[in-house]
Amino acid sequence: MTFKRSSGILLHPTSLPGPDGIGDLGPEAYRWVDFVADSGCTYWQILPLNPTGYGDSPYQCFSAFAGNPYLVSAALLLNEGLLSLQDLEDRPIFNPEKVDYGPVIEWKKKIVKRSYEHFIKSTNKHLLDEYKDFQDNHVSWLPEYALFTALKDEHGGCSWVDWPEDYRSRKPDVIERFKSTHPRKIDEVIYEQFLFFRQWKALKQYANERGLLIIGDIPIFIAHDSADAWVSPYMFTLNPDGSPSSIAGVPPDGFSETGQLWGNPHYRWEVHKSSGYEWWINRITSCLETVDIIRLDHFIGFCRYFEIPGGSPTAQIGEWKQGPGEDLFQAIKNRLGKLPIIAEDLGVVVPAVTDLLNKFELPGMRIFTFAFYGDDANSFLPHNYTRNTVAYTGVHDNDTVIGWFTSSPESIQAYCLDYLGTDGKDISWDMIRGIWRSVANMAIAPMQDFLRLGTEARMNYPGTQANNWNWRMRLDYPDNDLLKNIRRLNQLYSRINHTPE
């Protein structure tokens, strides 16, 4: 699918300002939508919206279908009478510039539980009908996810692989007994999902009415500790006891002598093919109910993937396997029509990936901060872009432009300045201008780069577990000068989105 000449800003909702320790779907999210729309951008890009698991990463989620309850807005619940002012009197004082996930999760769980107390006493027929409709419309995943989450809570939050065997293997009479003895615990999970999807649907509708499209993200792999793996272990490379027989990662390279061990189970692609890739079609369909365009992470993995034996301490031993490739995407296209997909095709150039992108007219990605290593044939240099490309200054896994530039060798800095024809005093905006004026149909930059922030605002350090995903934007970010400057940029380079007033 080819997109028009346009632009966007990358910012995950957790990074928004707000009083509850983490960005949410409340008033600040609406103010943000107005800012992006008024700046003349077309896209708001976000990270996965699923419930975060290990390391608080949106790429290690407890479900590929559920939503993140920590994004639920207390302010919106208060406005609807689903919370009272008294419910918020013990709100902790949170750091406004970093998400401290431990206290935040504890507080958000309290908010949802208190809201549930109001809900079960409600006589609002419209609200109760909405709740019933929500359950009916998400029956393919919601009951099992609620059961999984309730069981996980009952077992102290440990991985499902460590549950007693009867629960781990889903012994029918044991599962039914748990359902009958813990109906409230399960219903609370359903309610938190109802709140998330209700609030997100309203926010997305508002964004679309302002002329904005939302770019979402699908990680290629599921988390091992997830409802997906527990419910359908036969779809993934899992042993009878639930442990992975093989796991994902990449072999040793110039960046790591032992490779990268991600730990996610692989797909049993032959099982998926036998069903016509129904699980994947459902996953894409579900995601497109919450976003307008999908960014598929680690796109190369659909062509080939590195399979590491389960239990391996490093990624030094493994073998390359062939992915489903064209077969999968043809099945999705046959069901859904045109594919509103951006392929994260970064890394080693593989001809099969290029062929797949061309066949389905999928745009790939180019990262400007990758451009100054090598010669003038580097595909990340803007003069080598093609139109059906999404150009970024950087993404969530990279340092900010300023952080990258100040930590780069002098030779790289000199090459960058020479290429841009600048003195580097405003390197962040120089780089933004570099991709905005390129031929790439889509140009997107993280909000950190528009704000001229350094490494302190970096979102993620791949391969590490601490101090990730916690950057938050200050309350005073959306000043008129910044908005006018972004809008002028869009006007100068024919990327302006004439949003409805």
Nearest to 365 by CA among 346, 384, 339: 346
Q: Cβ distance 389 to 366 under 8 Å?
A: yes
Residues in contact with 499: Cβ distance below 8 Å, sequence separation at least 6, in sequence order? 37, 38, 40, 210, 211, 212
For the chain, which residues score pLDDT lower than 50?
A: 500-501
Residue-averaged pLDDT of the chain? 96
Q: Give the DSSP H/E element, type plus range, for residue 367.
A: strand 364-367
| Catalytic member of 56, 225, 344, 399 | 344
CB-hemisphere CA count at 13 Å for 17?
Answer: 12
pLDDT of 500:
45
Strands across the sheet containing 341-343:
341-343, 293-296, 213-218, 43-45, 6-10, 442-446, 389-392, 364-367
344 is catalytic: yes
In angstroms, the CA 329 to CA 319 distance is: 24
pLDDT of 499:
53
| Catalytic member of 217, 297, 430, 449 | 297
117 is catalytic: no
Please tell me the pTM assigned to this model: 0.96
| Catalytic member of 166, 187, 307, 397 | 397
In angstroms, the CA 309 to CA 317 distance is: 8
pLDDT of 255:
63
Length of the chain: 501
Query: Sign of dihedral through CA atoms 461, 466, 469, 472?
Result: negative
pLDDT of 470:
97
100 is catalytic: no
Nearest to 368 by CA among 333, 406, 398: 398
pLDDT of 54:
87
pLDDT of 306:
95
Angle between helix 183-209 and helix 172-181 axes, rounded to 10 deg: 80
pLDDT of 424:
96
